[in-house]
Structure 1
Amino acid sequence: MTVTAHASAPVFGTQVIGQTEKALNAILDRQLAGTGITEPQWVTLTIVNGGTFTGDALIERISGVLKVDRAAARERIAELTAAGMVRTTPDGTVEATEQGKEQWSRLRAAITTITQELWGDLPEEDLATAGRVLNTVLTRANTLLSAV
């Protein structure tokens, strides 16, 4: 089934998903410019700020979200550790440092403002539908990736 929101708008599918992803990444890249944090490091720092993880659980989470192998996930942690953004506690928990928390909070505030501009005024029903559709596509994509 093909759905269009407007006669001149791209049809829902890989083209509009790809263009949206590229535009959102460009916006994120602008926010990260000058911080020394890359997009994969930002995602990793967000994961660390979102919960309490020990070594393997954190590596699995990063690997799954970034779609990278465990070695690449460990590299992101090592990079953030070297930059003073995260540290490993004696019990093996990886946590954000004060510097990491402050940097994350500043960036998150800017991103939240942009997010509000992008879809804050859209009807809840539309957002719920978009969320269901994108989560279905994501689940299917993850299934395909895990089968390879």
Structure 2
Amino acid sequence: MTTTAPAVDGRVVALAHYASRAVLERTLARHGIGFQQSVALRLAALADGPVDPARLVDGVTGSLKVDEADARGTIEELIALDLLTPEEPSRIRITDAGRELYGRTSAESGAIAARLYAGISEEDRAVAGRVLALVTQRADAELATPSE
């Protein structure tokens, strides 16, 4: 696939992110959840059994760069929707309904990704992946240092 494109910078990355996220959010909305909820649900679905709520909070905050209160609120929303459920002692597990929803939305998002990445060579995707991983690593390092 040969195209004339701008050099990768924050704006180009953001435009691609927000465009693809908007497509995903449209799909998630049909199922009654939002993007942040889908991230938390994925973490619970991929966990090996019930998970410590702090681990879910850390996963959401680390992935989305949101504050802890926002992440806890998202987990509470999923509990209210009966997609996650508290389990003693102080653990959270995904419910059958949550697992089924995760499976459906994962399949649909996989189909979306296949359409969005169709025709892009594995080599180009690998280069983009390396660049974006490095940018993410550097941004995380910036966030870890106190702001001036």
Given the alignment of the two structures, is residue 17 of structure 1 paired with residue 13 of structure 2, yes or no?
Answer: yes
1:52-131 equivalences under 5 Å are 52=48, 53-131=51-129
39, 42, 45: which one pairs with 1:46? 42
1:46-85 CA deviation, whole Å, 9 max, x = no partner? 1111214212222212221121222211111100000100
Q: Which has the higher contact order (CA 8 A, sep 6+)?
A: 2
Q: Deviations over 1:22-63 (max 9, x none)?
A: 111110111012322111111111111121421222221222
Aligned residues: 143
Q: CA deviation at 1:93?
A: 2.6
Aligned identity (percent) is 33
TM-score when normalising by structure 1: 0.88
Q: 2:3 aligns with which of 1, 6, 9?
A: 6
**How far apart, in 2, do the equivalents of 1:121 and 1:99 lie?**
35
- CA apart distance, 1:120: 4.4
Looking at structure 1, the residues matched to 35 and 13 of structure 2 have their Cα atoms a distance apart, in angstroms, of 19
Greater mean deviation of Cα atoms: 60-69 or 106-115:
60-69
Give distance in 2, aligned partners of 1:105 and 1:82: 19
Q: How does 1:20-35 map to 2 (within 5 A)?
A: 20-35=16-31
- Stretches of structure 2 lacking an aligned partner (at least 5 in a row): none
Q: Distance in 2 between matches of 1:81 and 1:133?
A: 37
Report which stretch shifted further, 90-99 or 21-30: 90-99
Q: Distance in 2 between matches of 1:11 and 1:121?
A: 20
Please, which runs of 5 or more residues in structure 1 have no aligned partner?
Answer: none
Q: What code does the residue aligned with 1:16 have?
A: V
Structure 1 segments, 4+ long, off by >3 Å, are: none
